[in-house]
Every structure is written in C-alpha cells, then in structure tokens.
Structure 1
Amino acid sequence: MANWERNKRILLELVKLPENRLCADCGTPDPDWASYELGLFVCLNCSGVHRNLSSRVKSIKLDYWEDELVELMKSSGNARARALYEKALPPYYYRPQQTDCAVLREQWIRAKYERFEFTGETKYPPPSYTTGFYEGILWKKGKENTQFLKRKFVLSEREFTLAYYNKENESKGPKALISIKHLNVTFQPEKIGHPHGMQITYLDRDHTRSLYVYHESPEEIVTWYNALRAARYAYLKTAYPTGTDADLIPNITPNYLKEGYMEKTGPSQKEPFKKRWFILDSQNRKLLYFKGCLDAEELGVIFLGTESNSYSVRDCVPKHTRGNKWKYGLVVETPERQFIFMCEHESEQREWLDSLRQVMSRPMTPQDYTSKHGNANLRIIYRSVCRCAFFCFVCLCS
C-alpha cells in the first residue's frame, strides 16, 4: 500500500527541480498539479485544459498518489515532455504566458498534446500557419458602428501583406491592403466582448488604424494569430538578416504595456477635460489615444523619449481645470510641451506612472529616432487639419 505522506514529499521535491519549477505549458511558478499520463507538472488553470482533453491529472498536495505513478513522474518531468512535444516548435509560434487569455492557453495545449503539431513528424495537410499563405472569413467590426460583419481576409507571406475584402464586393479588389512591416496583432477578448476577440493594428499614411475581429472557432482564430506571427517573423528576418531569434521574436507581435481610459485636456491646459482611451505601445515608445476603446483610428500620438533627453512623468494636482470628473493626475513632460491626464482611481494613476517610467528609462535605438521623426511629420499634418498654433507632437484639440 502506498505511503501517502512519503509520495507527497517526493512529488514536492520533484516540483522544486529547476526543470519543473514552472508550469510546462504557461510558465506559472510553483505548479501544484501533474498530468501523470504525459509526465509533466502544470498549474491549476492548465490542468483544467488537460482534463478536458481527457488527460489524467492529479493535485500534488490534495490527491492520493499510487507508488507506480510517483515512479512514473520521477522518470519523466517537464524537460523530457518539452523535448518530445516541442521538438519542432517554430520560433514564431506564440508560447502563452500565465496572464494570457484562455483561448491561447487552450489551443497551445491542444496543438501540443492533441494534434501533435510540434513533434517533428510530417503532416498532410501541414498546419496552416506554416504555409506562408492563408485566407478565410473573420467577423470584423465596422469602422463607424459596433456591428460585426463577415469579411474575407487573405495573408501573403511572400508579398508581406494582409488584405481584406467586403464580402459582397470582392471583385472590386481589397478594401485595404495592409503591410506586414508595421502590423501588430494582440488578443483583446474583454475589449471586443468576445472570448476570441483579436485586434490588428497597422500604420496607414502615418495614422495608426485598428481592425477588431473574431472567429467562432478557437482553433481558427489562433491559427490566424500564428499565421500573422509567421509572416511578421519572415519580414523581420528579411529586414534584419543579422538579427538573432532572441532579438527578433520579442518584436513579432508585442503586447501593449498598458491600456485604459484617462481624461485629457488641451495644449493651454484650460480646455475642458475629455475622456479618452489610451494605449501605451512601449515597443515603439508611443502613447496613443482614441475617442473610444474600439475606434478604428487614433486621435493623437505622443512620442516618449528618455529621461536624459528631457522626457519625464510625475503625479500632479492640476490647477485651473474644467470638466474633469477624475482626481488622480499625472504630467508627461516632453521637450516641446506638457501633457496633463487624469485617472479615475489612485491605483490606475500608479500603474500609468510605473509604465510610462519604464518606457522612458529604456535607452533609445536608431529605430526609435526614426519613429520620432515620423511623429514630427504627424505634427505637421495635425496642425494643418486643426489649425492649432501650438508647436506639439500632436494636436490635442480633439
């Protein structure tokens, strides 16, 4: 008969080994569940996905473990499982983290252990994200309304383009032809209001535009995500041939550092405050703002340089303000002007301060200087459109 306490101690020692200290699937520290069928240690959330795949899982601390199962775990572990199930994992395929949405986690686990996509065995047909060309239907939000309509999307890795068509007018050519060069894609289920919601962001004539899409099939939407990542990876390898995977992979589809509503005022700081949706794109050192969280185009963008170049952020209690409902302020200083924002809660103020400081403390790269120059062009455009007399990166009269 198995010794329950002894077996529990053995498992707790096994999970302290370097190769087992993180969940085999999402990297959560100190996993306290195990799939004894696959011989790996996982966190609670990933254990639920494994259970749905009919993989046999147990709690390390709460369940009874037979001697033979403990011996099996001693002879396996996360490193051995990774060597088998991730043997041929493409460098661009996204490995979910513990904070990622459920659809990414589930499809990653299914791809590994149910569909065996990364074992190195030849598959026919091959996984769609590996072919360099992909097309299909996605539900896309309309630019001027909240209605989602079916649209055909075509991705070409050879041309480094993503096109989409109005379903009823495909013969007239694509509605938009998007360059992979400046494309980013992130999962946004809460913002979009669908568990498979995804945001595609790109540059169009110096404006940042966003498409909001979803697909009813979790496998299909994650396939689109990794197909776009494959195309982005191919572009980066072409644009930066000496770049290593360690350099390129973080730049394929970076998540935004911070998003949320703040109130903002205009250049003279006497205009009424208006509620705006802000996105902190740390990769490109940009703070973008939109009228609403699902807007197709940004109202303005602020370049964030380094503290050594006179960029800074601090909390504040602004004076002579009108219309602000929120009380927790912060000031962003640039060499050209000062920006005042208000947060609803003190915790949000602290998060914005920490995130902005994180960007400003990072040294600038040659690409960052190019991005800053692009914003100078933006400044001219906005000044022309809004006839704003203030010299600034963007017009804040919106």
Structure 2
Amino acid sequence: MQLEFIGAFQILIGVLARFWPVWLAIALVLGASFTFKKRLGLYGQLFDSGVGIAGVAICLFWLFTAIFAGTVSPFNPLAQIPIMKDALPGAVVPDGGGIYLFGGDKLARDVFSRMVYGSQIVLIIAPAATAFALMVGITLGLPAGYYGGRIDAVLSFLANLVLAFPVILLFYLLVTPGIMDTPIPYAMAGLFFLFPIIFFCVLFFTRFKNRPQLLVLQLALTILIGGWIYVGLVFDADPLGIVSIDSNQLNIFVAVVFASSPGVFRIVRGLTMDIKTRDYVSAAQTRGETPWYIMLWEILPNARGPLIVDACLRIGYTTILLGTLGYFGLGLAPESPDWGTAIKDASRLLRSFIHPALPPTIALMSFVLGLNLLADALREQSLKD
C-alpha cells in the first residue's frame, strides 16, 4: 500500500495545533505572572530580563506538555502500525487513522507521540530526584559546616568518596541488572527517603517547640503524609494506590539521589561555614537559640539563592544523565518513550533515517537550555540581592 504525505507547512500547522492546551496554559501563566510580578518575589523578578522570560517559557512549555500529554499526543506511544515502519514525517495512516507528524520509528511507533510522553518521564524523575538530593545534602551539609571538627571530617570524607567516582561509571554500576535485582536499591531508597521526613520534623520542632498544640499538628501531618509516601515509594504498599513508582524508575531515582547529594552537601557546607560568621547568627546564639534552629531558620534561608540556582542546573544535569542512561540501554524498560531510549533506537539506523532521532534530541536540548537560562536569570537576581 502506498502511503500519502502532507507538506512541511501542514506538518508545522499540525504540530502547533496539537499543542493548543500547552499554548493556552502558558499564556495564562505568563499573563498572570506579568500582571502580579511585583508580588511574586524572586519569581516575579525573572520577568525583568529577556533571559528569565525565555527560561520560564521553555520550562513551562515542557511542564505543560507533560501534564497534557494525553491530549497533545495523537497516538499511544507504544502503539504499532506495521505499515508506518520508518515512515517519513507527514505520513498519513491509511483509512483515516491520523498522521505521523514526525514520522515513524523502526518499530512503527509515532515519533511525535513518543517525544511528548517522554517529557513525562523526565519531568517526574529529574525534579523529584533533585529535590530529594537537596534534602539529603542540606540535612548533612548544615551540621558539617556549622559544627566542623570530626562531624565535618567524616561527612566530607564520605562525600568526597562518592565524588571520586566518574559520574557515568557510578550510574552504570548502580543501574546494571545485577544490582537492580538485589535489595540494594530498595535499601538505599529506604535510607534516602527518610531524610525529608527527618528534615521537616526537625524544622517544625525547632520552630514550634514552645507551641505544643501547633507542634503536634505539624509533626502528625509530616509523619502521616511522609510515611504514606515512604511506604508507597519504598515498599510499593500504598493502600490507596496513588503513590507508586516503577522498579526501573526507582533504581534510576536512587542512583540520581546518591550521585547528586555529595555535590549539594559541599555547596551547603561551604555556604554554612560562610554564613555562620554573620552578625545575625551571633545574635541568635546570644538569644540562646539551639544550633538546629540557627541552621534551619537563620542560615538556610540566607543560602536559598545559590541553592535555587544549583537546583535548576542540577535538574538539567539529571536530564542529560537520564538521556545518557537511556542511550546506553540502562535503567528504564526498552520500550520506554524517554528521550534517551528514543535517541538510542534511532541512532542504529541514523544513516538511512535521521527523522526519528531529531525530535527527542531537540526536546532534550531545549529543556536543558531552558533550565540553564532560568539558572542564569536566578543567579543575576541573587547577585543583585
């Protein structure tokens, strides 16, 4: 059967039309942000520069693409239509079945749909893993920088030990099938996922210890919600079935947290050693505040600027690492629509068919570019402050 094709202009119009919910959501968010930017603090200040606007717009594009993937995507990312194998962009599915806007891959799947659904994997793993890495790095970096001495020596040695390994080799060791089939990833997940619970319990205790009723409520909510998420992620035993993560994604998640935490630790440690010499810290010590109160409520808020910038950059690094792991066929399932796996599958026939490799490559590049622009804008604003 001979395939029919649409022209390049029709492909462009078709792609733009498929993203209509994304354009609408971006317009609403940017419109509200410009209107109320003076009330939005650091986020509002991003709209004072073109770099900040571009970074926010690109990141919002992929965020809303992940949210509305089911509406944007014309096909199931795993669906195969045999006649569309290696179909060129703009190929029309026979009998009015739709259009492969970016063509088909070697398994006759829609490249455009796989690119769209691949954003969901990136937007779930990269920010969440970075958030957990921040929790681990902050919880260990604050006492190391504040107390110094043996605590600093031990924690710094452990961090340097992890940093001594090449990142790619470290990830390769953590997500190879031999390790993934053992209890090691789940044991590491059980350890790392405790840090957010510990962090928020200490945070609320130091703040509300003189207000018992409010303290009990805060701790109860933290333990209840944190325990619910913990049980769902580590043991896959959420009774409501809401909190769940695929075993392959869990292994990558743990690997990212393990590899990223030492870098966050070193940043927090250095900032703490600098900030603890400030006058307002001395004033808090004179008032008789506890060390953890000083660390969490005096030092940490004043270190938020560099940490926010680092978080944006770290999400970008994690996205590249996810793409690299997918390219090497590690971690995620072979049929996964993540961008790295899509690039790997397309690279095998790159000399014959280049179109399946371009969309995931451009998607990965643009998302990381948006995060870097956002980090640059945040750095400029933090320097002004």
- TM-score, normalised to structure 1's length? 0.27
Greater relative CO, 1 or 2 (CA 8 Å, sep 6+): 2
The structure carrying a bigger helix percent of its residues is: 2
The structure carrying a bigger strand percent of its residues is: 1
- TM-score, normalised to structure 2's length? 0.27
